[in-house]
Chain A
Amino acid sequence: MMTAFVNVLQVLLLLVFAPALQGVIKKCKSWLQGRTGPSVWQPYRDAWKYLHKDEIVSEHASPIFLITPYIVFAATATAVTLVPVFLDSSLLASTSTLLLAVYLLGLARFFTALSGIDTGSSFGAMASSRDMFVSLPAEPALFLTLLALVLSDHTLNIVTVTAHTILHPGILLSPVFYLVLLAFFLVLLTETGRLPVDNPDTHLELTMIHEGMLLEYSGKRLALMMWSAELKQIFLYTLFIDLCVPWGMADDRATPLRLLLGVALFFIKLLFVGLVVAFVEMSYAKIRLFRVPRLLAAAMTLSLIAIVAQYLL
């Protein structure tokens, strides 16, 4: 029962701190660019503001547009229940296979793309088309990277893989590990809509992908869509931490103090990933849409090399 309680806590932790991560990355980026930047808590203020605003909905929109935010949030939040955070277990540990996690995000993407078309606005449909286009190489790239990480563990269960990795810190010495790390990071940038693939800060119609689909949302539904995007980001970072650097996680028999240490370590790791992302965002310009597949092809090649090398080594 205690474990179940901590598992629920893990989910709540990600739900609550998802906007903060966004704030932290923005803050880091601002510092790196020599600006003060908005407060770390700005995403919460935004959400609160949106929550209390009236909504305006396109006259062409169908019920799909209205229910999309709930479905997107539910799908992303369900994905969150699959991954371990600071305890090497999760709420839905017994069903937390890779395919399910990725396809839950796919469900969210599916509906977001539909809502982009639904408003009748050309910007929405264009962004939706671009988003799906970017996902074409991104999804297999994500799968290949994940497979490179889990194949040697003989299981596809995220929780089991994490536990297995914790027991075998030896992989840190393997060169293959760093190839996968790099590949995973490239996929991470793409999937969370970061530079050099998508620019999360701009609303310039020529460049936007994810923001374009949310263009017609306002009020509480916008708040929910933003929260879901932040949730997806923190989910993917957590997955990255679970599969690549899970050491320091508490186990079933941990004392409360050990749990707190686990939480602290998780935040440090998350912060570090966020910092690297902010650094990459600062140093690169956005690339053309048709260059994105090449970036992801690089990630796929790295993973493929890693998989074959793992077999040979």
Chain B
Amino acid sequence: MFASGALGVDVLCMAVFLLASLVALCWQKAVWVGHSAGMLASAGLAVAGLFGLLQPQLHKTQAQLMVRSSIHSFTSIVYRTNPLSDFFLLLIGSVGLLVSLYGVGYVREYRQEKGAVSVSLLLAGVLAFLASMASVVLAGDVFTFLVSWESMSILSFFLVMYEHERSEIQRAGFIYVVMTHLGTVFLTVGFFVMAHYAHSYQFSEFSKLDMPTTAKSLVLLMMLVGFGTKAGLIPFHIWLPRAHPVAPSHVSALMSGVMIKTALYGFLMVVFLFFGVGQIPLWWGMVVAAIGVPSAVLGILYALLQHEQKRMLAYSSIENMGLLFMGVGVSMLLFSLHQPDFAAFALLAVLVHSLNHALFKSLSFLSAGSVLASTHTQNLNLLGGLMRKMPWTAVFALIAALSISSMPPLNGFVGEWMLFQSFVMLAIIRASLWVHIVAILLLFALTGTGALVAMAFVRSFGMTFLGMPRSEAVTNAKEVSWTMRIGMGALALACVLLGVYPFWLLRLLEPSIRLLTLVDPVGVSPSIGMNNISWLTMIPAPIHSTIGNFEPLSIVLALLVMALLSLWLFRRYGNRASGKKARTVGPVWSGGMTVDGRMAYTASGYSKPVRIAFQQLFRTSRQLSVTEGDEHFPKRLLYVHRIPPFAETYLYRPLVSALLVAANVIRKVQNGQVQSYMAYLFLTLLFVLFLVR
């Protein structure tokens, strides 16, 4: 009964979202009602999800909420929960809560610019968007899932188009809506094929799916395309780096942090719940892992070269989704190689990393949004030195950057560590030479992206917050309002806490893992071969895997002790005796000239070595022109470099032009002359007669 109670709370929260959305639409004075109802409902979702994970035994009584329609058995609305959807509800609810809190302050900017009506429209959109995401993970049959999926896509499209006056945003929105519908087509077909074999549209029947492997493989590929489009996997990613940056920043945070995770949810649901872990062909895992690799590597390489902060973050999301799908692929490989314990560990790594990514990516987007709100630019080449103006935002952005770069002891490292361990597990089981090589290549991709991420985020943080201001935009910057700071601060705190003490998260995920893999997660973490236990293990909470442990608390302690040691050495022996102040502040040396912002290193310059090293890949075009002064004594230069997006150039452009050529050919048939249409009629008649003869 409690389970149905939790489901009731979930549905109630969705209803509250929708109601609040309506209120915001109809009654523009009461924006606060919308804001507070949104936060309340998000908190409700998070609590319900948490409760579901803490009390997994309650799920045994399959709670379903069903609204049957009289038209057709297909068009019914069914909601259900299981530990997997609980986990994603927790993710949606907690990030949604903090992002909504941030949004309260953030939309003020738009109120001055675009008026109250527009702000309430934005609020209504965000609330309905949150409801649709919750509805996706709660959906219990094909119809509900697809309708929720479509509403999520369309609502996010509206939110992307919020500043529709600008032409590049119109284009971004157009590409988004086309791509997301292409993805949905694949999903729809895939779900109908499964429904055909399950003789039902209910997801509860799908778990007893009896399908030939060929059909399963076909569905798997469709799901990979369908969910991959939403997840932004390369080559289906082209909408993501356009659409995510142009949405209002708190919406970007929701899209990058939460919405693309629903694709992961869907994929996990289909592969692990519907198809089951019993018979996974080896090549499935290979394909899934293989599609993750280019997303991870190319995603972060392109991120490194962006000079717009939010676009760079969007590319970084592609990279992280790539890592997650690599993890899913490895888990599938381990299942087909009959290593369920290792596979469960890999899947645990995927879930942990997806929550971590939701936290630090939304934090990054929110801090980028604060910078944008405060300086009205997100061009890294024009920022700089914001740490003094916006110290709070800077600290939160630093935590996000460290966490994304998976620096210990923050939460990003926990996910990276677990993914690394599980990839190594695939290597050490030595199933066959090819699996071994695949594992090594995956490890290579994982570690290679690690270094690239660090460079990308040193660049973006450093160029935004450190050094000298490079333009006027920075000089008038102010710290953002306190609601925005609380929203960011809570996310930053979560990043730190989950890094220092990830243990409770792992325990919390046990029911989800048990549901997906049928493996008891206690078996996931036996500590074998670890006789060499140091005296510091008296501190509890290590993460075990069969090939090594990680004790975040010991590391934090060691870091603190060492930092204190160096401080003490300075106090004891350092220069304090002299009466005058031991630290003078002076101008920086630069060959005898006065330094100003124009001389400072730029973000484009920072990533130039990478651009040169990967010239073959990027094919940058560069233009240098003199805009003021003459050729020999230029006063002002204009330097433009452009990196052509590869997927468009090599895949989509040719495809579109082929389509246009085909359309041209077909157009000849449709020539507008009555005679030829009569001829077509006659021919058709002949053909039909021939058939029925």
Are A220's CB and B574's CB within 8 A? yes
Cβ of B388 under 8 Å from chain A: yes
Return B276 CB to nearest CB of chain A, in Å: 29
Contact of A62 with B559 in the complex, beta carbons under 8 Å = no
Determine if B424 and A147 form an interchain contact, defined as CB atoms under 8 angstroms apart.
Answer: yes
**Counting CB contacts under 8 A, is A42 at the interface?**
no
B613 touches A100 (CB 8 A): no
Interface presence of B218 (CB below 8 A): no
The answer to whether A136 and B575 have CB atoms under 8 Å apart is: no
Instruction: Assess the A129–B590 pair: CB atoms within 8 A.
Output: no
Residues in A neighbouring B565, C-beta threshold 8 A? 77
With contacts A106-B454, A119-B588, A147-B440 taken as known, whether A129 is within 8 angstroms of B534 at the C-beta atoms is no
Q: Quick check: is B437 within 8 A (CB to CB) of the other chain?
A: yes
Are A156 and B547 neighbours in the complex by a CB distance under 8 Å? yes
User: Across the interface, do A110 and B458 meet the contact criterion of CB distance under 8 Å?
Assistant: yes
List of A residues within 8 angstroms of B447 by Cβ: 139-140, 143-144
Indicate whether A194 reaches chain B with its CB closer than 8 angstroms: no
The answer to whether B408 touches A100, judged by C-beta atoms less than 8 angstroms apart, is yes
Q: A97-B548, A122-B600 are in contact. Are A110 and B612 (CB under 8 A)?
A: no
Taking A90-B534, A106-B405, A144-B444 as contacts, is the C-beta distance between A138 and B451 under 8 angstroms? Answer: yes
- A32 is an interface residue with CB less than 8 A from chain B: no
* Contacts A95-B550, A100-B550 given; does A122 touch B590 at CB 8 Å: yes
Q: Establish whether residues A93 and B433, one from each chain, have CB atoms under 8 Å apart when the complex forms.
A: no
Q: Is the pair B436, A89 in contact by a Cβ cutoff of 8 Å?
A: no
Number of B interface residues in the complex (CB < 8 A): 92
Please give, as numbers and ranges, the residues of chain A lying within 8 Å of B562 by CB-CB distance: 73-74, 77-78
User: What 0/1 readout, one digit per residue, does chain B (458-471) give for beta carbons within 8 Å of chain A?
Assistant: 11011101111000
Which B residues touch A308, using CB under 8 A? 433, 436-437, 440
Asked if B549 and A94 sit within 8 Å, CB to CB, the answer is yes
A63 within 8 A of B: yes
Residues in chain B near residue A1, CB distance under 8 A: 535
Interface membership of A254, Cβ < 8 A: no
Which residues of A have CB within 8 Å of B420? 99
Q: Are A113 and B462 in contact (CB under 8 A)?
A: yes
Question: Smallest CB–CB gap between A187 and chain B, Å?
Answer: 12
- Inter-chain CA distance A62–B461, complex, in Å, is 13
Which of A64-72, A172-180, A274-282 contacts its partner? A64-72
For the complex, give the distance between the alpha carbons of A289 and B609 in Å. Answer: 9
Total A residues in contact with B, Cβ cutoff 8 Å: 87
Residue B406, interface by CB 8 Å: yes
Q: Which A-chain residue is minimally distant from B567 (CB atoms)?
A: A70
Query: B629 to chain A: which residues have CB within 8 Å?
Result: none
Q: Which of chain B's residues have a CB closer than 8 A to the CB of A117?
A: 458, 462-463, 466-467, 601, 606
Proximity string of chain A (79-104) to chain B, C-beta cutoff 8 Å, 1 when within and 0 when not: 00100000001111111011110011
Whole-angstrom distance between the Cβ of A301 and the nearest chain B Cβ: 11
Q: Report if A128 contacts B (CB, 8 A).
A: yes
Bound-state CA distance A136–B549 (Å) is 26
Give residues of chain B (593-652) contacting chain A, Cβ–Cβ below 8 Å: 595, 599-601, 605-610, 612-613
Q: How far is the CA of A109 from the CA of B375 in the complex (A)?
A: 29
**With A and B bound together, what is the CA distance between A110 and B451 in angstroms?**
10
Residue B693 is within 8 A (CB to CB) of chain A in the complex: no
Residues of A within 8 A of B554 (CB): 92, 94-95
The answer to whether A120 touches B588 (Cβ under 8 A) is yes
Are B467 and A118 in contact, CB atoms less than 8 angstroms apart?
yes
* Chain B residues whose C-beta falls within 8 Å of the C-beta of A130 in the assembled complex: 609
Query: In the bound complex, what is the Cα–Cα distance between A269 and B547 (angstroms)?
Result: 28
Given A70-B563, A219-B575, residue A55 in contact with residue B583 (CB < 8 A): yes
How far does the alpha carbon of A65 sit from the alpha carbon of B466 in the complex, in Å? 9
Instruction: Report the minimum CB–CB distance from B500 to chain A (whole Å).
Output: 13
Question: Is B279 located at the chain interface by the 8 A CB criterion?
Answer: no
* Contact partners of A155 in chain B: CB under 8 A: 529, 547-548
- Closest residue of chain B to A48, judged by CB? B573
Given the contacts A74-B562, A94-B534, A290-B612, A128 and B458 also touching, CB distance less than 8 Å: yes
- Distance in angstroms from A290 CB to nearest chain B CB is 6
Known A-B contacts A120-B468, A128-B458, A151-B428; A216 and B588 likewise in contact (beta carbons under 8 Å): yes
Say yes or no: A78-B551 contact (C-beta < 8 A), given A60-B588, A308-B437: no
Q: What CA separation (Å) do A58 and B588 show in the bound complex?
A: 5
* Contact yes or no, A55 B582, CB < 8 A: yes
Q: Enumerate chain A residues within 8 angstroms of B444, measured Cβ to Cβ.
A: 140, 143-144, 300
Question: Does B585 touch A at the CB level, under 8 Å?
Answer: yes
B385 contacts chain A at the CB level, 8 A cutoff: yes
Q: Choose among A74, A114, A311 the residue that contacts B462 (Cβ–Cβ < 8 A).
A: A114
A69-B566, A163-B532 as given contacts; A290 in contact with B405, CB under 8 Å: no
Q: How far is the CB of B452 from chain A (nearest CB, A)?
A: 6
- Inside 8 A of B551's CB, which chain A residues have their CB? 92, 94-95
Q: Is A52 an interface residue (CB 8 A)?
A: yes
Collect the chain B residues with CB atoms within 8 Å of residue A74's CB.
559-560, 562-563, 566
* A59 pairs with B586, CB closer than 8 A: yes
Interface residue? A238 (CB, 8 A): no
Which residues of A sit under 8 angstroms from B413, Cβ to Cβ? Answer: 103
Q: Check A207 for interface membership: any CB of B closer than 8 A.
A: no
Contact of A107 among B408, B467, B532, B612 (CB under 8 A): B408
CA distance A143 to B433 in the complex (A): 20
Given A129-B608, A135-B455, are A58 and B586 also a contact pair (CB < 8 Å)?
yes
Is there an interface contact between A64 and B547, defined as CB atoms closer than 8 Å? Answer: no
Contacts of A137 in B (CB 8 A): 451
Q: Tell yes or no: A40 within 8 A of B by CB.
A: no
Q: Is there an interface contact between B405 and A58, defined as CB atoms closer than 8 Å?
A: no
A7 contacts partner chain B, Cβ-Cβ < 8 Å: yes
Measured between beta carbons, the chain B residues less than 8 angstroms from A118 are: 462, 466-467
* Residue A168 is within 8 A (CB to CB) of chain B in the complex: no
CB distance from A46 to the nearest CB of B (A): 14
Q: With A4-B535, A130-B609 given, is the CB distance from A103 to B466 under 8 Å?
A: no
Q: Is the CB of B387 within 8 A of A62?
A: yes
Chain A residues with Cβ below 8 Å from B440 are: 144, 147, 304, 307-308
With A and B bound together, what is the CA distance between A113 and B536 in angstroms? 31
5 contacts between A and B (CB under 8 A): A97-B548, A117-B606, A118-B467, A144-B447, A216-B589
Known: A157-B530, A219-B575. 10 other contacts (CB 8 A): A62-B387, A62-B465, A75-B559, A91-B534, A94-B533, A94-B542, A95-B542, A117-B463, A159-B532, A224-B566
Closest 7 CB pairs of A and B: A125-B601, A117-B462, A139-B451, A77-B562, A97-B548, A62-B387, A132-B455
Please report B residues at the A interface, Cβ cutoff 8 Å: 385, 387-388, 394, 398, 402, 405-408, 413, 416-417, 420-421, 424, 427-428, 430, 433, 436-437, 440, 443-444, 447-448, 450-452, 454-455, 458-459, 461-463, 465-468, 529-530, 532-537, 542, 547-551, 554-555, 558-560, 562-563, 565-567, 570, 573-575, 578, 580, 582-590, 595, 599-601, 605-610, 612-613
